[in-house]
Chain A
């Protein structure tokens, strides 16, 4: 996930130069991130206006309204919807640049605080799921790889199946088994950690499958690297080899893809939030799109993009730390 235009042929070993390079990298990434945000805002602006239907309906609280012609015209003027599209675009971009996300068409409240609250709830869910998925994937891979025979096949098979399971199906199965039958956990998301377990498991298990498969491949590749031979020659134990040397390299593709995984978790969160009655960005997005609440959809899109960019930059930074080779590629 390194920026491909960052090609340097030299291997600079001087510290100040390396620090400067790091700073330049950070600056470049921030600039790139802002650019992406602007592009996302533009795409969303025009895409949402392509959706058939009049935004005024959403503001009036739904298409079945009895509002008079004057009321409709009044609202149109109020919200600036009677201006030419390009004017609306520049006004919208200007507002966004000043972090003014406007008012929700349907809920008539300020969008920013509302979406942020929902984001928090979803973040808790997705980060917990990512962490759990990582832990499970690492554990499964470390324990079952490197040896031949059944353990490896079983581990591999489990990961395969887990990655192929749709979220909503898994959620139903988990609810049937852990809630309806065993009564261990509540079927809906209640406040507190207990209500978080089933939603997190639902999102984490398929991701575990995916990450596990990935790690297994790169673990096997990493075993063939020369440094493993030299480590073994130095007399390191098998577990020492695994932890100190191999894991670092094996984790690389997983770390790189965590950014993408985060994005897919956000998408999966929609289903999980719907089924477990959990507030969150996913549900907010679903209902906002269906009632054409443009300010909310815009805010969700930008917030997701921002989160994604932050996660990507963070994982790239971790990449650079875990594998210094990346910094000089």
Chain B
């Protein structure tokens, strides 16, 4: 006699449950993630003017757009490019055609389907002058044509091979937004862009906060995420607290859960605080460095450049001012760039050698204030400082550099100004020293920063090659590297490029672009995306 059919269903269910239990019988984490709650994040970066990272394209935009906009590819902690909205990709033999296979199960939060047409619309949006995109525009600079070959197949046609294409596409500034949303006027899209991400922008109270709510239909987590499906948190509150001391005080009082741009002394205090944890996520691209303007006197003379580098001892200052939270860098590239090369021997401090070099270069007269002169002109270095970009510890470091440069006869004029005036000084070539951070995924940033083409200003007056390095050999290497897809060959070329830059004494590396997050220990699952080290709260939950 067979069992009554009515028992089959519960048996089936039980069996399925047993199977599933077996499948998920991995070692359990210490605590179970709890769904729900609102996490409060306080940022010290400027409030973005527009929440659409296509417009302009700076780091504050990247910080927040990571919560609601996703890119075609991502990067994992080992530095490998991993699938995200795109699942596969192939490059043609001549490097001029790239084919991407896209996920077919993703929708934007306004219901529009994510497909090849959406990708096409987005790239066109970046290239459209009316969008006024800077970073994203540069990133897709070599893409000439986009074809929606099939619903989930898109083909890029390039003007030249681009070995940095995947790295560029992994950045938030090339994130994919809903084409329907992009059709709205820019002001509206800036208020609440629509993406595929785990959260949705619901409210923006200017100068105060942005509210983001969970996207209940989310299913496009990158491969290196801890779970799949919707985010655990109900919502995020993104607050703007520009004052560092206030921001940290707010973390300590429990008014906020996570802060960024943590100051070194706060990080140091937090080390002994059991209720606060730290996440150190250096930004990719270039390291935080001083550029010496070789385009005009006195740094057009390599001996004077070398003398400056031999004269200033920055390591003790970095140690004390940053409370040991920043490590001295001897590389032009960030330490998260695998192709970065560190050359400590090139930066030995030797004031005697510095003095000898300056004498040799003709700066052998000393005036009444102790500064060197040549033909009646004082050895003066103008150093504009952007108070928006340089934290107080860094500004103090520059004061120390000023003091040690004075010991060998340099007069360093520090000029703290606001961002607009700072750019003004750069555009009019009124600087000898400058510290200009540049965040980009991948070593191609060297081409942006040190190729002689980058000395040519854009119509707005902006140029990225602030060292005004113009070396045809270097140009050749950088161009070739940007077209070489062989990883080993590329690495060798970039190593050579970095040697040229460092040996020419164009750059004084200080430390990685600091990006420290401090957060309450009640926050779990919080990590920084390995692309541009922006925070992601997709896996985060509140344990209280």
Contacts and interface: CB of A to CB of B under 8 A. Distances in A.
A307 to B, nearest CB: 19
Given A61-B49, A107-B49, A292-B420, A66 B134 contact: yes
A63 B461 contact: yes
B243 A274 contact: yes
B134 A64 contact: yes
A277 B246 contact: yes
Contact of B207 (A53, A106, A275, A279): A279
Nearest to A108: B187
A59 B450 CA distance: 28
Contacts of A134: none
Contacts of B388: 290
A249 interface: no
A63 B462 contact: yes
A201 to B, nearest CB: 16
Nearest to B248: A187
A49 interface: no
Contacts of A283: 207
Contact of A66 (B49, B137, B249, B252): B137
Interface stretch (A17-25, A68-76, A238-246, A313-321): A68-76
A275 B246 contact: yes
A71 B132 contact: yes
A64 B462 contact: yes
Contacts of A188: 241, 246, 249-250, 253, 255
B423 A63 contact: yes
Interface string B450-477: 0000000011111000000000000000
Nearest to A60: B132
Contact of B424 (A53, A114, A275): A53
B418 interface: yes
A108 B246 contact: no
A58 B420 CA distance: 9
A279 B56 contact: no
Contacts of B187: 103, 108-109
Interface in A107-151: 107-109, 114, 117-118
Interface in B491-535: none
A117 B206 contact: yes
B419 interface: yes
Nearest to A66: B134
Interface stretch (A26-34, A175-183, A255-263): A175-183
A159 interface: no
A72 B250 CA distance: 42
A67 B54 CA distance: 12
A54 B420 CA distance: 10
B427 interface: yes
A189 to B, nearest CB: 9
A62 B58 contact: yes
Interface in A246-300: 274-277, 279-280, 283-284, 287, 289-292
Contacts of A190: 255
A66 B460 contact: yes
B261 interface: no
B196 to A, nearest CB: 24
Interface in A158-190: 172, 175, 179-180, 183, 186-188, 190
B186 interface: yes
A72 B460 CA distance: 8
Nearest to B134: A66
B150 interface: no
Interface residues of B, number: 49
A172 B253 CA distance: 15
Nearest to A176: B249
B190 interface: yes
Nearest to B128: A71
Contacts of A118: 206-207
Given A61-B132, A118-B207, A277-B239, A66 B458 contact: yes
Contacts of A291: 418-420
Interface string B216-252: 0000000000000000000000011111011101101
> Most chain-A CB neighbours within 10 Å: which of B187, B419, B459?
B459
Contacts of A60: 56, 132, 460
Contacts of B250: 186-188, 277
A182 B187 CA distance: 45
A103 B206 CA distance: 15
Nearest to B387: A290
Interface string B165-208: 00000000000000000000011001100000000000001111
B50 interface: yes
Given A53-B424, A188-B246, A65 B253 contact: no
A283 B241 CA distance: 11
A105 to B, nearest CB: 9
Interface string B357-388: 00000000000000000000000000000001
Contacts of B252: 180, 187
A275 B240 CA distance: 12
A193 B186 CA distance: 37
Nearest to A291: B420
> Most chain-A CB neighbours within 10 Å: which of B46, B49, B130, B427?
B49
Given A60-B132, A62-B419, A70-B129, A180 B249 contact: yes
Contacts of B58: 62, 64
B423 A175 contact: no
A64 B207 CA distance: 22
A118 to B, nearest CB: 7
Interface in B398-448: 418-421, 423-424, 427
A190 to B, nearest CB: 6
Contacts of A106: 49
Contacts of B462: 63-66
B138 A53 contact: no
Contacts of A63: 419-420, 423-424, 427, 460-462
B133 interface: yes
Contacts of A192: none
A16 interface: no
B464 to A, nearest CB: 9
B55 interface: yes
Interface string B55-87: 110100000000000000000000000000000
Interface in A58-107: 58, 60-72, 74, 103, 106-107
Nearest first, the 6 A-B pairs at minimum CB distance are A63-B423, A187-B249, A61-B56, A290-B418, A71-B129, A279-B207
Given A186-B250, A188-B249, 20 more contacts: A56-B460, A57-B420, A61-B49, A62-B419, A65-B458, A66-B133, A67-B459, A68-B459, A71-B130, A107-B50, A107-B206, A114-B206, A118-B206, A187-B250, A275-B246, A277-B239, A277-B240, A279-B207, A287-B47, A290-B418
24 contacts: A52-B421, A54-B461, A60-B56, A61-B50, A62-B58, A64-B462, A65-B460, A67-B460, A68-B129, A70-B129, A71-B129, A109-B191, A179-B249, A183-B253, A186-B250, A187-B252, A188-B241, A188-B255, A274-B242, A276-B246, A277-B241, A277-B243, A279-B205, A291-B420
Interface of A: 52-54, 56-58, 60-72, 74, 103, 106-109, 114, 117-118, 172, 175, 179-180, 183, 186-188, 190, 274-277, 279-280, 283-284, 287, 289-292
